[in-house]
Structure formats: structure tokens, C-alpha cells
Amino acid sequence: DIQMTQSPSSLSASVGDRVTITCRASQYISSYLNWYQHKPGKAPELLIYAAASLQSGVPSRFSASGSGTNFTLTISSLQPEDFATYYCQQSYSIPLTFGPGTTVDIK
């Protein structure tokens, strides 16, 4: 199975801050990497697919990059509605594993 790791596990930030989350796969996954946002009591939301493609309707302050084993998600200017937990997920091989999540909360 491919193991996914994320760092940091949590971070505190202020509105307007630039935030970067990293995700690493235990083996090569090409660009089969997705990013999700999950808020308490809500369904997860797909933000990014294929490592760097912004899902339709997702604000342009979200961007992502990477391929192979190393990936990043960046929020260019954190907004109040962005405080949530973010997960990466590889869809290169079964089982489709998630990272452990990064919780972004208010400083």
C-alpha cells in the first residue's frame, strides 16, 4: 500500500496569511494526487485533482503543485471560510489512501 504523509499536522494562521501544506507519497504516484477540504459536519470538498488542476468553482487562491512523490497545496491569502482540515489522497493505486490531514485554525 502507498502511505501518504502530510506536514504540518496542524497550523495556526491569520486571515490574509499565505499557507503551504506538503504531502509526500511513500512511492511514485505520478500526478494522481487529490486535495480535499473538510469542515466539521460537512461533506468533504474536492479542491484539486491531478496534482495541480483546480476543481471548478474553487477559489483561485488555492493552488497546488508537484509530481512523483512530493506535492504542495498553497492558499495564497487565507480567508475565514478556509479554516478546516485538508487531506491529500493518492488515486494511483488501490487502496486509494489519504494523508492524515492538516488542520488549519485561527491564530
Partner 1 sequence: QVQLVESGGGVVPPRRSLRLSCAASGFTFTSYAIHWVRRAPGKGLEWVAVISYDGSDKYYADSVKGRFTISRDNTKNMVYLQMNSLRPEDTAMYYCAKASDSITVYTGGHYWGQGTLVTVSS
The residues of the shown chain that bind partner 1, judged by CB under 8 A, are 1, 32, 34, 36, 38, 42-46, 49, 55, 85, 87, 89, 91-101
CB closer to partner 1, 17 vs 69 = 69
Beta bridge partners of 70: 24, 67
Least distance between partner 1 and beta carbon 13 (Å): 20
CB closer to partner 1, 1 vs 15 = 1
Strand order in the sheet with 45-49: 10-13, 102-106, 85-90, 33-38, 45-49, 53-54
Cα angle value 36/32/5 (rounded, 5°): 60
CB closer to partner 1, 46 vs 52 = 46
